Structure 1
Amino acid sequence: MYRSFRNGDENAIIDLWNKTMQRDPITKQRFFKQVLLDANFDPEGLIVAEQDGELIGAIYALTRKLPMAGIELERDTAWITFFMVDPENGRQGIVHGLMEQAEQYAKQQGAVQILFSSYAPNYFLPGIDETAYPAAYTFLLKEGYRRQSSPVAMHRDLLDYSYTPAVSELKKQREAEGYSFGPASHGDFPELIRFANEHFNPDWGRAIREGILQGLDPEQVLAAKNGDRIVGFAMFGGYEGIRERFGPFGVDEHEKGKGLGKILLHDTLHAMKQRTIQGAWFLWTSETSSAGHLYLKHGFKTYRQFHVMVKELVH
């Protein structure tokens, strides 16, 4: 039997999650914040499979009810951020039935495409990890999903990190030209959030604002300026209060080629090392992008790859 979420299901969903997705276990508090408290949560989109009174599967589909700053409702798009089925019931067509229910819900909301699982702000992973969950990846392909992109997660050990003389010299050169680097002041934040929204992604502006509102130390947000104008920024610890999580991070496209990203990257890693943080990691970049090349050149290593999957819905 398939039905929508009811109060109390969360405990069984979390237990099943930790049983089936052991590479990515979850706590009750994280599920509460990122699913049940999500501004776009609709219990009709959290669908469970039940057998003899026991929850044996779940899938979560959603559409935007509230826009993010700079983004409209994206009425043509739905997202799936997780699905699971008890391994003991894995070959009975249950997960296929869950997917049919989720896609039907998405179509009822007006979506013409559905993605797994790049929903912002409350995604758990950027997409499906084929290495960790090969059966789930194969299932998505059989269900008609195609790979849209393959972002990677990277990590850098900070135990051996030190700020290099070459970066120090580059920073002095740029400062002599009128650039400045350092923690964002309180008065910088309105412009900084606008800069992140307009030059990159509204989710980045949201991450800055919500991080500060949730107690993030403003000194964990670093800004690069050309005179009084913000031209780049980097931060850490802004997502879910995880100190080791680096980003977001970006430099104005018109300022590229001056090493500003390199300076911001090392200033941020140095600030993390000052706080005895032993590693820096993030979930999403492209290895072939300019940012990806910068990370790889400065000690980051890819430790995981995901596939963002998309399917066109036939109404």
Structure 2
Amino acid sequence: MIHFRPFRNSDPPALVKLWNQAVPEHSCVRPLLVHELDDHAFGSVFFDRDGLIVAERDGRPVGFVHAGFGPDQPVGEHPFALTPEMGVVAMVAAEPGPDAQATAESLIVEAERYLRSRGAQVLYGGGQFPLNPFYWGLYGGSEASGVPSSHTQFSSALSALGYEPISTTVHLHYDLDQEESRDPRAPLLRRQAAVEFVEDPVPSNWWENIALSDFHLTHVRLESRTEGVEIARAHTWDMTWFGRGDGHTRIGVYGVEVAPAHRGKGYGRFLVAEILRHAREDSFERAEVQTLADNQPALTLYQSLGFEPVEQSTVFRLPAPFPDRSRPHEPHRLD
């Protein structure tokens, strides 16, 4: 019989063991260390022990699920304020074996009850900014968008419980030892705009600060030399933890944005190319970026530079109304 209970301070070693058994190596930090999970998932100011539910069999943890909420929008106006109307099942991991799927599904149901008890009206499976409360920096690649396709235990459990895919993100990698892609417009663009790399900047908002402040953030700006206005921007962070399996140092690129008045002029490609050049100089071996699967201009841009798609991740949503299974009741047991 399986018993479900809230998180205890003594749990992290057992939860890290489950992570390293059940969470796939691709697009995740593996092997994960105890202090890393403790600091980056359980150490935030909005961590709620009731939202991390542990499944035990004979007193031994055999799985866990972690659920939570995102910040008020826009992020930054109300620090540490969460929006309880939308909840997310951010992580599930069950000990491999014949009962793993049933354990994962039952854990997700327990997470639903927790979220509903806190006021959630809409439930998601797999986080995506800003509904990514705990694992950015540890899971899901450069932007922690959804459930990676390699994490079949998580996605299969969500699908079995009626969650439907609503958004797909493509993960792309770039090997920095390959020959640099040449852009004939680069000399002209370099005369028109200056690139500025701001190392260890003040994070853009408190959400980013909690997630990535320990991973050597860099803000990159492209500024017009004549007008002094910002043309484009992006952010990078050190993803080297993600390279423990293959030994490659990684840099993550996110938040690539070109000002509307300057789109279609090659500035986005130029900015990303400059980021890759800078990453080579800093001895990174791979770069990673993500974009929505239906964002064809972004996909075309990255692939023209030499990025290759390596994985997809999916955000799921539970259709309304809530199934009866999510109604709060006495603690659930799985025979």
Which band: TM-score by shorter chain?
0.7 to 0.9
Check conservation: 1:39, 1:65, Cα contact below 8 A: no
Contact 1:57 1:86 survives alignment (8 Å): yes
State whether structure 2 residue 129 is matched by structure 1 residue 129.
Answer: no
1:87 partner SS: coil
Find the counterpart in structure 1 of residue 117 from structure 2: 108
- The runs of 4+ residues in structure 1 deviating greater than 4 Å are 64-67, 238-243
Distance of aligned partners of 1:253 and 1:120 in 2 relative to their CA distance in 1, 3 Å threshold: farther
Partner of 2:56: 50
| 1:191-218 deviation line (CA, Å, top 9, x unaligned) | x94xxx7xxxx85xx36x986x65837x
What does 1:1-315 align with in structure 2 at a 5 Å threshold?
Answer: 1-23=3-25, 24=28, 25=30, 26-64=32-70, 68-70=75-77, 73-88=82-97, 90=99, 93-118=102-127, 119-120=131-132, 122-123=134-135, 124-125=139-140, 126-130=145-149, 132-162=150-180, 164=182, 166-172=184-190, 175=192, 179-184=193-198, 193=204, 206=208, 214=214, 216=216, 220-226=218-224, 227-237=227-237, 243-282=250-289, 284-289=290-295, 290-311=297-318, 312=320, 314=322
| Cα distance, 1:244–1:53 mapped onto 2, change above 3 Å | same
2:331 equivalent in structure 1 = none
Indicate conservation of the 8 Å contact 1:238/1:247, yes or no.
no
In structure 2, the CA distance between the partners of 1:172 and 1:92, relative to structure 1 (3 Å rule), is: closer
Could you tell me which amino acid in structure 2 is paired with residue 129 of structure 1? P
More helix by share: 1
Q: Secondary structure at the match of 1:245?
A: strand
> RMSD over aligned Cα, in angstroms?
3.0
Alignment partners' CA distance in 2, 1:148 and 1:313: 17
Q: Is the 8 A contact 1:63 1:109 kept in 2?
A: no
The answer to whether the Cα contact below 8 Å between 1:40 and 1:66 also exists between their aligned partners in 2 is no
Deviation sequence 1:272-295 (CA, Å, 0-9, x none): 11112222113x312431222210
Cα deviation, residue 251, structure 1: 1.2
Identity of aligned residues (%): 21
Residues in 2 aligned to 1:50 and 1:255: alpha-carbon distance in whole angstroms: 56
Aligned length: 293
CA distance in 2: counterparts of 1:298 and 1:75, whole angstroms = 41
The structure that is strand-richer by fraction is: 2
Structure 1: unaligned runs, 5 residues or longer: none
Q: Determine the C-alpha separation between the residues in 2 that align with 1:17 and 1:79.
A: 19
| 1:57-111, Cα deviation, whole Å (9 max, x unpaired) | 1111112478741576332111111112222352684333212211010001100
1:45–1:102 CA contact under 8 A, matched in 2: yes
* Runs (5+) with no aligned partner, structure 2: 242-248, 328-335
Relative to 1, partners in 2 of residues 1:66 and 1:40: Cα closer, same or farther, differing over 3 Å?
A: farther
SS at match of 1:263: helix
TM-score, structure 1 normalization: 0.81
